A = this chain, B = another copy of it.
Amino acid sequence: MGNLRKSFSEARCLVIGGGGFIGINLSNALARAGAQVDAYGRRLSIRDSLISGVRWTSADFADRAKLAEAVEHADFVFHLVSSSTPSSANADPAADVMDNLVTTLHLLDICRVQSFGRLVFISSGGTVYGIPSMIPVPETAPTDPISAHGVQKLAVEKYLALYRHLYDLDYLVLRVANPYGPMQIARKSQGVVAALMMRALADEPVEIWGSGDVVRDFIHVQDVVRAILMASLHPGPSRLFNLGSGMGTSIKTVIDDIERVVGRGPLKRIHLPARAVDVPSNVLDIRRIREEVGWQPEIEWMDGLRKTMEWTMNAKENGLI
């Protein structure tokens, strides 16, 4: 394990899960910061989305030979792979463990024997805590997930700490809240802002699971990516940070605000039953990353929504989504 770099200039960065929402944004930001970036993933979710300076490798996370090759001599490995969502993982937790936890342990075994810098893992600030004992929820709060997705992410965090203890593996965990913004595509039960925006722009009714009083911590992906870059270079003692806006917004409010931003009059609302995997409220306490790393969110919510709308309209026009 080498010493931690002071900048991304010429740094060799591997972004596993580089073809997804955060992965594309992160890969591009790293390339802009001067890094040599390998974006590694099963597929690129939006074509032509990676800037020059990012090399795309289409490969499976479970392909251990390809993975070992990609990790070799990396200064930073960003692990953003998640083949599951809170809903899909619950349907088959054993498969979720096989696809995500076992493969991650293979990655850790590759990292511990190779010449290698720091491993940055994107965890789930929305699910590892379960039903928060306090709002906003600090990193020290109890972790009792109510989704298999959350248990699996938490297990990865524990194995990372273990590999540090046993092998001095340098790692960082970022428990990201609900990111939104450019490159997000609505998947089943994830990407609520993207899903609502798409429907609003298509003049389709929006779906609300439960009462709409469910509160989430939405953070613009540009803020997320800036935090990942800053925290990754940070040598400080903490290995685990919440990463969110620190503010709660209800689903109802999201819909009202999208209605305002889109400006085509009231959206039709369809009410669906509440889901057992949804915690009633989740807002992250972001004092630790603010104080230790010196990062704070910069993109204001309504402004972020406007940017998201512009990107979505553009992407639709160009047939990208």
Query: Is B276 a contact partner of A166 (Cβ separation < 8 A)?
Result: yes
Residues of B within 8 A of A108 (CB): 93
Residues of B within 8 A of A119 (CB): none
Query: Is A145 a contact partner of B166 (Cβ separation < 8 A)?
Result: no
List, sorted by A's number, 9 A–B pairs whose CB atoms are closer than 8 Å: A93-B108, A93-B162, A94-B109, A102-B102, A144-B158, A147-B162, A151-B155, A151-B159, A166-B277
Query: Is A144 a contact partner of B161 (Cβ separation < 8 A)?
Result: yes
Tell me the minimal C-beta distance from A12 to chain B in angstroms: 25
- Closest residue of B by beta carbon distance from A155: B155
Docked Cα-Cα span, A148 to B158, in Å, equals 9
Question: Looking at chain A's contact residues, is the secondary structure mostly helix, strand, loop, or mixed?
Answer: helix
Cβ 8 A contact of A146, one of B93, B94, B165, B276: B165
Query: Is B144 a contact partner of A166 (Cβ separation < 8 A)?
Result: no
Tell yes or no: A287 within 8 A of B by CB.
Answer: no
11 further A-B contacts with Cβ under 8 Å, apart from A94-B102, A154-B158, are A93-B105, A93-B109, A98-B102, A101-B101, A145-B158, A145-B162, A146-B165, A147-B162, A151-B155, A165-B276, A166-B276
Tell yes or no: A97 within 8 A of B by CB.
Answer: yes
Within A239-284, the residues touching B (CB, 8 Å) are 276-277
Complex interface bits, A159-173 against B, C-beta within 8 A gives 1, otherwise 0: 101100110000000
- Closest residue of B by beta carbon distance from A154: B158
Given A154-B158, A158-B151, A97–B102 Cβ distance below 8 Å?
Answer: yes
Copies of this chain, whole number: 2
Residues of B within 8 A of A42 (CB): none
Tell me the minimal C-beta distance from A103 to chain B in angstroms: 8
Query: Is A148 a contact partner of B159 (Cβ separation < 8 A)?
Result: yes
Tell me the minimal C-beta distance from A157 to chain B in angstroms: 9
Most buried by B among A151, A159, A165: A151
Docked Cα-Cα span, A90 to B148, in Å, equals 24
Within A124-183, the residues touching B (CB, 8 Å) are 143-148, 151, 154-155, 158-159, 161-162, 165-166
Interface residues on A, range: 20 to 34
Cβ 8 A contact of A105, one of B97, B144, B162: B97
Tell yes or no: A106 within 8 A of B by CB.
Answer: yes
Docked Cα-Cα span, A148 to B159, in Å, equals 7
- Closest residue of B by beta carbon distance from A101: B97
Docked Cα-Cα span, A162 to B109, in Å, equals 28
- Closest residue of B by beta carbon distance from A144: B161
Residues of B within 8 A of A106 (CB): 94
- Closest residue of B by beta carbon distance from A167: B276
- Closest residue of B by beta carbon distance from A96: B105
Docked Cα-Cα span, A286 to B13, in Å, equals 48
- Closest residue of B by beta carbon distance from A166: B276
Residues of B within 8 A of A158 (CB): 143-145, 151, 154-155
